[in-house]
Amino acid sequence: MSDLKILLNFERNGKSHTLESYKQRSGYKTVEAAFKKYSPADIVEEVKKSGIRGRGGAGFPAGLKWSFLPKDSDKPVYLICNGDEGEPGTFKDRVILEENPHMLIEGIILSSYAINAKHAYIYIRGEYGYALRQTQQAVDEAYKAGYLGEKLPGTGYQCDITVHKGAGAYVVGDETGLMNSIEGKKGQTRNKPPFPAVEGLYGCPTIINNVETLASVPYIVENGGEVYGKIGTEKSTGTKLLSVSGHVRKPGVYEVIMGDSFMDFLKNQCGGILDGKKLKAVIPGGSSTPVLRPEDCEKMTIDYESITAAGSSLGSGAVIVIAEGTCMIKLLEVLAHFYHHESCGQCTPCREGTGWLLKIIKRIEEGGGKMEDIDTLTSITKHIAFHTICPLGDAACGPIDSFVEKFREEFVEHIEKGGCPYNGKFTRLQKRI
């Protein structure tokens, strides 16, 4: 376990968001050097070499995504930084936006230069009032200092950033939903193709990357893609921010090296489970990733391949820890309520299906369940997943299928007993550090 901190390379002293603090950490040096040293294609090449995979949840290689831009388009290219961060359990981008926004801005300048975008949008979810203010302040500072605006130092290159405030809709975290939102429309998603790299914001070629991905770019350009590529494992390179919540003694945002042991991380860095309880389950990558039992996590390391092999997904890196004594059906009801609430209504399987799922789970939790309900749940998910325009439908099914698979006995117990063995409540655990 190493102490390398790329994204959280600052002290939490209330000043880390300022230009002064960022420059003390050699901030903006990379951007000044890069314009002289590298062509845009060189930067794309470094990012490709780094192997960094999109940190929003899908894990798609960022450099490869950039290379999908058409070479012969005469339309402007846009870069969007996705800071919608709506996946329940996730709060890692918030830390960058609130406490290290200049690193993100430098990443955006470098990335815009690489893909020849003159205008970038940072889309931040509306609830993040503080993050919006901190980021806007940093953008204003960067304009004043000449890092943004027309003709950046030593070049004829232009880069503008607009901070855009969302208004509360999970589906907008999807890239095309987010583009519709910036265009002032309902945040419903678009059919693909055309893919955003060809026809995105305002019908122009658009690259959209997560906050954490873009904030990693200055380090990659400064040190070279190869150096970044050597951090972590072969296929999961670099560091990853994990948002840890639930029944742990030290919840919060951690930066870990890909490939670290999950159980060691949970025990040592997160301080283990509250009140000395035993671990019952882990949702390792945000609410839509399949739930795991403790035995699935024993040999798991924190990287895309290992968590996939364990039966789930690294997703956005949101680790939700669940202690013994928690009713899994009640928990699933909370999740099902969320997906039903957030379904945008565009595709029938998701709009109707998420409502049916919620009704059935509620019925089981409240004592009116029948044995056949369990298989009805998984039959409904079969008709939602991969039958919708966007991944919200698939996301709604991940928890249902995995809860049924891993905790079937709890469904049976609820149905046989005619009610919730935990009295329909969550046990309250207290002792945090």
Looking at 28, 91, 147, 403, which residue binds another protein (CB under 8 A)?
Answer: 91
Tell me how far apart the alpha carbons of residues 307 and 300 are, in angstroms, rounded to a whole number: 6
Residue carrying the six token digits 């990379």: 30
Looking at 30, 66, 85, 196, which residue binds another protein (CB under 8 A)?
Answer: 85
Nearer to another protein (CB atom), residue 100 or residue 181 = 181
Minimum distance of another protein from residue 159's CB (angstroms): 15
Element (H, E) at 35: helix 29-37
Alpha-carbon distances of 77 from 68, 72, 279, rounded to whole Å: 12, 12, 48
Looking at 17, 48, 65, 94, which residue binds another protein (CB under 8 A)?
Answer: 94
Q: What is the CA radius of gyration of the chain?
A: 22
Looking at 126, 149, 294, 355, which residue binds another protein (CB under 8 A)?
Answer: 126
Minimum distance of another protein from residue 400's CB (angstroms): 14
Residues binding another protein: what is the number (CB under 8 A)? 58
Say if CB 205 and CB 144 are below 8 A apart.
no
Tell me how far apart the alpha carbons of residues 257 and 241 are, in angstroms, rounded to a whole number: 9
By CB under 8 A, residue 283 contacts another protein: yes
Minimum distance of another protein from residue 330's CB (angstroms): 8
Minimum distance of another protein from residue 299's CB (angstroms): 25
Nearer to another protein (CB atom), residue 71 or residue 428 = 428
Alpha-carbon distances of 413 from 279, 293, 335, 420, rounded to whole Å: 20, 18, 20, 8
Alpha-carbon distances of 183 from 186, 201, 208, 257, 344, rounded to whole Å: 9, 7, 15, 37, 17
Nearest 5 degrees, angle CA 100-CA 106-CA 108? Answer: 105
Tell me how far apart the alpha carbons of residues 54 and 111 are, in angstroms, rounded to a whole number: 14
Binding track, positions 191-220, relative to another protein; x by CB under 8 A: -----------x------------------
Minimum distance of another protein from residue 93's CB (angstroms): 8
Alpha-carbon distances of 26 from 16, 142, 151, 218, rounded to whole Å: 13, 15, 22, 11
By CB under 8 A, residue 318 contacts another protein: yes
Minimum distance of another protein from residue 252's CB (angstroms): 5
Minimum distance of another protein from residue 229's CB (angstroms): 30
Binding track, positions 333-372, relative to another protein; x by CB under 8 A: -xx-xx--xx-x----------------------------
By CB under 8 A, residue 261 contacts another protein: no
Handedness of CA 408, 409, 415, 420 (dihedral sign): negative
Nearer to another protein (CB atom), residue 36 or residue 423 = 423
Tell me how far apart the alpha carbons of residues 336 and 318 are, in angstroms, rounded to a whole number: 18
Q: Which two tokens stand for residue 251?
A: 């919840």
Looking at 117, 215, 217, 253, which residue binds another protein (CB under 8 A)?
Answer: 253
Nearer to another protein (CB atom), residue 126 or residue 224 = 126
Nearest to 398 by CA among 294, 302, 295, 320: 320
Looking at 56, 89, 107, 259, which residue binds another protein (CB under 8 A)?
Answer: 89
Choices 165-173, 255-263, 297-305, 348-356 (CB under 8 A): range interacting with another protein: 165-173
Alpha-carbon distances of 247 from 136, 181, 275, 277, 320, rounded to whole Å: 34, 35, 9, 9, 8
Q: What is the contact surface with another protein in residues (CB under 8 A)?
A: 85-91, 94, 125-130, 162, 164-170, 181-188, 202, 243-247, 251-253, 283, 287, 318, 320, 322, 326, 330-331, 334-335, 337-338, 341-342, 344, 425-426, 428-429
